[in-house]
């Protein structure tokens, strides 16, 4: 079921300009594939999907090259640098504001860093919340974010 769903995702994003996870969930439903937002987020991360600027001037999901010429981490860091407009620490949480449609990419980049004190993240359209184990870890990650930007 997972491989079929992921095959459908690749098929859909190759044909349509999909800007958001909600649009992708709707497109999957039209194809007869039911999915939750959480499952779709995992698929996006597992498949290394990223958002890139289309010729029409909108950001859309796209699959990276599988030929070894694609540096997923470098691309996520670039998207992070270009999409984050503000961030703030609130105790053990970090709130990250991004350009519209890019909070998920910013969140994915942070999660790809394999930071042991990062508990998890959740992203909407232009805001991501990152939960850390404690306040000190959140402050430290904010310093790392500053370095990334």
Output the pLDDT for position 72: 59
Query: What does DSSP say about strands 118-123 and 127-132: parallel, antiparallel, or unpaired?
Result: antiparallel
Structure tokens at 145: 């974010």
Output the pLDDT for position 46: 83
The burial of 125, by beta-carbon neighbours within 10 Å (0-12 exposed, 13-18 middle, 19 or more buried), is given as middle
Domains in the chain (CATH in brackets) are: 2-63 (1.10.10.10), 72-148 (3.30.1360.40)
Structure tokens at 141: 């990650």
Output the pLDDT for position 67: 45
Mean pLDDT for the stretch of residues 33-47: 88
Cα angle value 57/61/63 (rounded, 5°): 120
Which positions ≥6 away from 12 have C-beta within 8 Å? 18, 24, 27, 28, 31
Helix orientation angle between 37-46 and 21-30, rounded to the nearest 10 degrees: 100
H or E, element range at 98: strand 93-98
Task: Kindly report the average pLDDT of the chain as a whole number.
Answer: 86
DSSP SS3 for 115: coil
pLDDT digits (tens, 9 = 90+) for 45-92: 888 888 887 777 788 888 865 444 445 567 777 888 888 999 999 999
Output the pLDDT for position 51: 84
Q: In this prediction, what percent of the chain has a pLDDT beyond 90?
A: 40
Rounded Cα distance between 84 and 97, Å, is 6
Mean pLDDT for the stretch of residues 7-15: 90
The position carrying tokens 């909070």 is 103
Output the pLDDT for position 84: 93
Rounded Cα distance between 67 and 24, Å, is 25
């Amino acid at each position: 079921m997972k491989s079929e769903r992921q095959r459908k995702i690749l098929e859909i994003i190759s044909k349509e300009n999909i800007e958001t996870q909600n649009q992708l969930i709707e497109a999957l439903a039209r194809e007869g594939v039911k999915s939750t937002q959480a499952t779709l987020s995992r698929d996006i991360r597992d498949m290394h999907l990223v958002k890139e600027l289309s010729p029409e001037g909108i950001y859309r999901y796209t699959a990276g090259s599988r030929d070894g010429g694609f540096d997923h981490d470098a691309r996520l860091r670039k998207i992070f640098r270009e999409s984050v407009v503000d961030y703030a620490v609130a105790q053990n949480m970090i709130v990250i504001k991004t350009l519209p449609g890019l909070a998920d990419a910013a969140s994915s980049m942070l999660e790809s860093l394999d930071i042991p004190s990062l508990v998890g993240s959740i992203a909407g359209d232009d805001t991501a919340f990152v939960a850390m184990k404690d306040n000190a870890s959140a402050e430290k990650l904010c310093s790392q974010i500053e370095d990334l930007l």
